[in-house]
Structure 1
Amino acid sequence: MMNDIGISQELAIILVIDLAIAMLLLTLMRYIQGWWGRVNTTHELAEKDNFAFGISTAGAVLALAIVLTGAITGEAAESYLMEAIGMTAYGGFGLILIKLGRWLHDKVALNQIDKPTLIVEGNMAVAVVDASVAIATAIIIRANLLWAEGLSINTFIAIFSGFLVAQFMLLVMTRLREYLYQRRNPNGGLQVALAQGQLAIAIRHGGYLVALALTFKSASYFIVFDEFAYLTNIVGWLIYSVVMLFVLSILLMIAKRLVLANVNLTREVDQQQNVGVATIEMCISIGIALILTSLMA
């Protein structure tokens, strides 16, 4: 009986440690948002009522929460100090990777627009894509955290390797969506449409990004973690990612033709900015990705 009470107290203390660190990191994320955009978060959210900045910040906070679920999943550490160190290390590393992923997406994937400036100006479409990128990046980081084991430099290298591969695939997805959009709309481009504030297009595109990220979760079922196999880890993630992108694209094409039969998606979303239809497309994308991931498990 006394042993059970001791174990319960120990678990309760570990829970408090994890929650305290999580709260601190979530708070820090809000102020990093302001620092990143070189604005005062209180002014943007409460005085200027910048909805776009609010959506962007909400995406960042939710993204960090998703990463933290990967950091706290598993057995408790050997001591309270190690638990605090592990939670802080994984959470801090995840926060850095979220910001790095958004920066890479800004500079490489959405290289034709100034995303931070547009968000400060109140562009809702760009904010939705920004939040989607943060959430997609967080889902990928969480998958890597659950896949990796230990708390060593090699572990973080393995996590970072999977992260880089996933960012590359998000770039590929963006370029693919740009190509398809250009074919349907010869006089405009995807990034131009986002800069113009076309919310329906942003919702649909965000759905594709999150859906692709969700498929990375099942990679851990097939790729055996080896902290010293640097090249094998990268190649494994890359091969699996390419296969999943192909499979996901085929399934989404079929699902949307069935669920949205007799609906001209080009006219409704691209031309008429039908947010309702775009939201259905987003939910189909995420739904198919969740089903695919569950089947892989």
Structure 2
Amino acid sequence: MNELITTLGQSGDIAIYLLIDMAVAIALLGGIRFTMGFIGNVDTKDELSGKDNFAYGISMAGAVAAMGIALSGAITGELAGSYTIELLGMFAYGLAGLILIKAGRYIHDKFALPAFNKHELILNRNISVGLVDAASVIATAIVVRASLIWVEGLDINTFIAIVSAWIVSQVMLVLITRIFEWRFSHNNGTTFQATLEAGQIALAIRYSGYLISTAMSVTAASYFIYYDAANIWLGVSQWAIMSLILMVCLTVLTTIAKFIVLLGINRREEVEDQENIGIATIELAISFSIALLLMALMT
């Protein structure tokens, strides 16, 4: 009887902790629309339902999904010492995730794709840019989630480690963009960013697959690294090296898989010349699948 009472008491505590976590998570998710509207000086209601701006809706959907992904790293299932600590910890992790996602979006705009005004194009209903914007924030969130799971505790070292892991991810995403852009320009005689600005949806889908799968390979690298608050820089350096190695492995394996799955199909011609969204989506699925397999193998 005493064991039953203890179990019921613990279940009550767990339920309260879960309610705290979900309340903070839903509040932060709800804040995404307000934040996007405030930062972009946009009437979100008018864009979404008045103008039926699909590109803006896709961009916001990416932001909401990204916030959910990042928050899933904050909810570990472990109970804090008190309800107050749980509330503060969840809010701190969630706020850190939100800031890093927004910062990642800024880095992507200014360093990965600096040739056009992303915000302006999305407001002008450019769906391809909306897709890329959504993919970039989701990619950042995937790594933020990994860093939240990797770290332990709630102190200055925790946030230094999270920010450091975020920096590694941004370097990798900018690097993969430069490689993607070089290959596209070499094959087509025009720039990737100009083609994206022109509204090439198939190309945006293919590139989105590269972004998300790269972020997943960075996440897989974290499985090799043990978090040590006393040696944060060593851990982050190891993470960066493993991320680079796994990104190369991802590129090689994805190239082989695409060749086999789409045997006999000229992928460059279909996606880049004929704007074949179906082929581009298959390529995205292949990139995602290989990255998922790498994550499973490294676990």
**One fold, TM greater than 0.5?**
yes
Aligned to 1:55: 58
> Quick one: which amino acid aligns to residue 53 of structure 2?
N
Query: In structure 1, what is the Cα distance between the partners aligned to 2:232 and 2:149?
Result: 17
Q: Does 2:101 match 1:132?
A: no
Q: Which residue of 1 aligns with 2:122?
A: 119
Residue 247 of structure 2 aligns with which residue? Answer: 245
| Per-residue deviation, 1:222 | 1.1
Cα deviation for residue 257 of structure 1 reads 0.6
Gaps of 5+ in 2: none
Residue 180 of structure 1: how far off its partner (Å): 0.6
- Find out whether 1:236 has 2:238 as its counterpart: yes
The answer to whether structure 1 residue 86 and structure 2 residue 89 are counterparts is yes
Q: Which amino acid aligns with 1:167?
A: Q
1-structure distance, mates of 2:179, 2:44 = 34
- State the 1:266 CA deviation: 1.3
- Equivalent of residue 32 in structure 1, options 27, 35, 42: 35
Question: 1:142 aligns to what?
Answer: 145
Aligned residue in 1 for 2:171: 168
Unmatched 5+ stretches in structure 1:
none
Contact kept? 1:256, 1:281, Cα under 8 Å: yes
Tell me how far 1:216 sits from its aligned partner: 2.1
Contact 1:161 1:233 in 2 (8 A): no
1:236: how far off? 1.0
The answer as to 2:99 corresponding to 1:99 is: no
Is the contact made by 1:252 and 1:285 (CA closer than 8 Å) also made in structure 2? yes
Aligned to 1:215: 217
Identity, % of aligned positions: 48
Shifted more, 228-237 versus 196-205: the winner is 228-237
- The offset of 1:291, in angstroms, is 0.7
Which residue of structure 2 aligns with residue 256 of structure 1? 258
The corresponding residue for 1:153 is 156
TM alignment of 1:40-79, pairs within 5 A? 40-79=43-82
TM-score by length of 1: 0.98
**In 2, Cα distance between the equivalents of 1:288 and 1:267?**
23
State the alpha-carbon separation in 2 of the partners of residues 249 and 195 from structure 1. Answer: 25
Aligned counterparts of 1:52 and 1:165: Cα–Cα separation in 2: 29
The RMSD of aligned alpha carbons is 0.9
1:73 deviates by 1.3
> Which of 278, 281, 284 is the matching residue for 2:283?
281
Between Structure 1 and Structure 2, how many residues are aligned?
A: 296
TM-score (norm 2): 0.97
- The CA distance in 1 between the partners of 2:11 and 2:73, in whole Å, is 22
Contact 1:162 1:233 in 2 (8 A): no
Equivalent in the alignment of 1:179:
182
Deviation at 1:3, TM superposition (A): 1.1
- Equivalent position of 1:12 in the other structure: 15
Distance in 2 separating the partners of 1:282 and 1:151: 36
Displacement of 1:57 in angstroms is 0.1
Q: Distance in 1 between matches of 2:36 and 2:220?
A: 31
Shift of 1:59: 0.2
Q: Which amino acid aligns with 1:281?
A: E
Per the alignment, in what secondary structure is the counterpart of residue 229 of structure 1?
Answer: helix
Among 257, 271, 274, the residue aligned to 2:273: 271
Q: CA deviation at 1:226?
A: 1.4
Separation (CA, whole Å) in 1 of partners of 2:260 and 2:217: 22
Q: Deviations over 1:125-183 (max 9, x none)?
A: 00000000011000000011111111001111011101101100000000000011011
Deviation at 1:231, TM superposition (A): 2.5
Shift of 1:9: 0.9
